[in-house]
Amino acid sequence: MNAVSSSHPALQAGAHGGAFFARSFALARDAGQAERALEGPEDLEQRVEERTRELARSLETSQRQADEMRTLLAIQRALTGADDPQDVLQRIADEARRLTGARRALIFLVDGDDLAVTVWSGEERPEAVAGFRMPIRSSATGRMMLSGEPVRIADARRDRRINPEIHRRTGFRSLLSVPLLSGSTPVGAISCADKIEGTFDDVDERVLSMLASGAVLGIQNARLHRTERERRREAEERRRVAESLRDTLALLNSDRPLEEILKHLVRQAADLLGTDTGALYRLHPDGRGPTIQAVVGLPEEHVASMAMPVGMAAVGKAMQERRPVVIPDMAQVIPPELAADPELRRHLEGLVTHFRGILGLPVAAGTEVYGGFVLYYREPRTFSKEELATAGSLGDQAALAIQNARLRSQAEASAAAAERSRLARDLHDAVTQTLFSANLIAEVLPRLWERKPEEGWRRLEELRQLTRGALAEMRTLLLELRPAALVEAKLPDLLRHLAEAVTGRARIPVDLRVEGERRLAPDVQVALYRIAQEALNNVAHHAAAGRAEVDLRCSPGGVALRVRDDGRGFDPASVAPQHLGLGIMRERAQAIGARIRIESQAGRGTDVVVEWEEDQGVGGR
């Protein structure tokens, strides 16, 4: 197909038409500008005012949004750095009231089946709503929270959804509430009441919804903070209990008097369970009522009344029933058995003026009840299971202390009886036999003297040795009866008594040689004396020796003690440590930091050497 030429008349006519339309549009545009130019000054001023109002509204919106953002950022910073999240919730309530232009704001938290007012912000004092609770399902705020959708109430007086009690307490008229949701779980609500200007609108709802997310974080932080605080408190309490039990166990393992231990336990119980007053009562086997064994912080008029029947008050009931007994408030509970005894009733009523709460605990072990603890509190008091467990452990320790005291007393009595038996045996084996021999010699000496004067002189010397030996034995026994004499006397004198006693008892001459002199610490002197005593006992009973020697050398740097005999000896490798007192001699030497050497051979006697240096063990004086 051939192309159409541009010189075609139709195309030329179209070109002229386009130019015409262009010129017509230009004329119309100029006419519009001219028309606007001909507008009056009133129309122009109106347009300027409208534009100004539009810009002002835009600026106000921008400023409000900037204020909201600053508030959210400030709350976010507060959430990350606050020591007490409750302060953050208070700030959120204050900002909610300010940003929505309301007279008051509240934050409710779920507590069981109720909503509890936790934070209040407003012009009035918050006493009207302090501690206020309302059922979730019978309040507009509660139902709103369950639905997860905000609620606006323009006139609370006519809205039946409003809880009448909170309306009576606060008197609000309009309300905007937004749920606080942790995920999908409702945890509370934030509400603003009585907008100062106008009514609550979508902007207020948006602002409150933004603040609600911060409130949820604040609630979560508050719970974490409370959990952490409780965890630290429990850890600190467990640490205190552990330290207390450690100290008490150390005291129980000591030889302190029972009264001191029991008073310590009462003081520990009072300290751990938050009071400064307590007592421990002891039962008596003869059936008498309990009496105060240890007391801390009780007034004199109560201590003066020491006896109380088992059936009275917390301590008596605790001992009878063998379980903890708590009286939260003595002013509300007076035991019925007191009604028949005016004096006891007067005593208890006087006690109530000082104390209100009481905790009674039994002190028992096995099937035996020794007594009971009682702790007094100046205000009404309840106790957790952990506190009762702590108190129970202290009661067990008190029972253990009493048991230990009884066992210690029995052990001391048994030890005293055993010591008396040993002294009786020693008296019989040594002194009695020596005196019997001396008596026989004394009886035959006159007749022997007439026939054989030389034999009489020999027997007289033997009699003298026997009496000296008996005297030495008696002195040794007196030392055992009065142990303090072992440290009061000088070591050479003590060794002399031992040597003379062995000579008199076993008819074995014992030579004592002493070189130098010095004072020794009590432990060192007693240990050296006991080692020499054990070695000489072996000489007297086992060695069959003709003679023995005791050497004591004292110097500023130490002491050397040597006991040797010419008896039958023994093989150290074939003798058990407990035989011949070898083990106890080594233990005594080790206790003072001394070196001991025991050498012996069959038929060649025994040599015991102890060397003590001042820097090895207990120092001398």
Distance CA 234, CA 586 (A): 50
Q: Please tell me what DSSP assigns to residue 436.
A: H
Domain extent at residue 615: 490-621
CATH number for the domain that contains residue 519? 3.30.565.10
Same domain, 197 and 274: no
Maximal CA-CA distance, the chain:
199
Highest mean pLDDT: which range of 160-169, 179-188, 436-445: 179-188
Residue 595 pLDDT > 80 = yes
Which class for 505: exposed (0-12), middle (13-18), buried (19 or more C-beta within 10 A)? buried
Distance CA 127, CA 132 (A): 10
Residue 606 pLDDT > 90 = yes
- What pLDDT, on the 0 to 100 scale, is given for residue 3? 40
Residue 16 pLDDT > 60 = no
Does residue 77 sit within a domain?
Answer: no
Residue 304 pLDDT > 50 = yes
At 564, which helix (H) or strand (E)?
strand 558-565
**Inter-residue contact 214 to 179 (CB < 8 Å):** no
pLDDT band at 531 (very low <50, low <70, confident <90, very high): very high
pLDDT band at 92 (very low <50, low <70, confident <90, very high): confident
- Count of all residues that appear for the chain in the document: 621
Same domain, 291 and 161: no
Does residue 68 sit within a domain?
Answer: no
Distance CA 208, CA 150 (A): 9
Same domain, 169 and 276: no
DSSP-based three-state secondary structure for 167: helix
Percent of the chain with pLDDT over 70: 74
Same domain, 135 and 256: no
- What pLDDT, on the 0 to 100 scale, is given for residue 350? 64
Closest CA to 273 of 363, 387, 373: 387
Distance CA 462, CA 448 (A): 14
Does residue 27 sit within a domain?
Answer: no
Digit-coded pLDDT (tens) for 437-466? 777 777 777 877 778 888 878 777 777 777
Does residue 585 sit within a domain?
Answer: yes
- What pLDDT, on the 0 to 100 scale, is given for residue 565? 95
Same domain, 620 and 539: yes
Does residue 420 sit within a domain?
Answer: no
Percent of the chain with pLDDT over 90: 13
Same domain, 218 and 300: no
Same domain, 100 and 211: yes
Higher-confidence residue of 510 and 478: namely 510
- What pLDDT, on the 0 to 100 scale, is given for residue 20? 45
- What pLDDT, on the 0 to 100 scale, is given for residue 465? 74
Domain boundary among 384, 403, 422: 403
pLDDT band at 68 (very low <50, low <70, confident <90, very high): low
Residue 9 pLDDT > 50 = no
Digit-coded pLDDT (tens) for 311-322? 356 777 888 788
Distance CA 21, CA 352 (A): 112
User: What is the number of domains present in the chain?
Assistant: 3
Residue 21 pLDDT > 90 = no
Distance CA 397, CA 249 (A): 8
Residue 558 pLDDT > 90 = yes
Distance CA 19, CA 24 (A): 9
Which tokens hold the place of 454? Answer: 């030389």
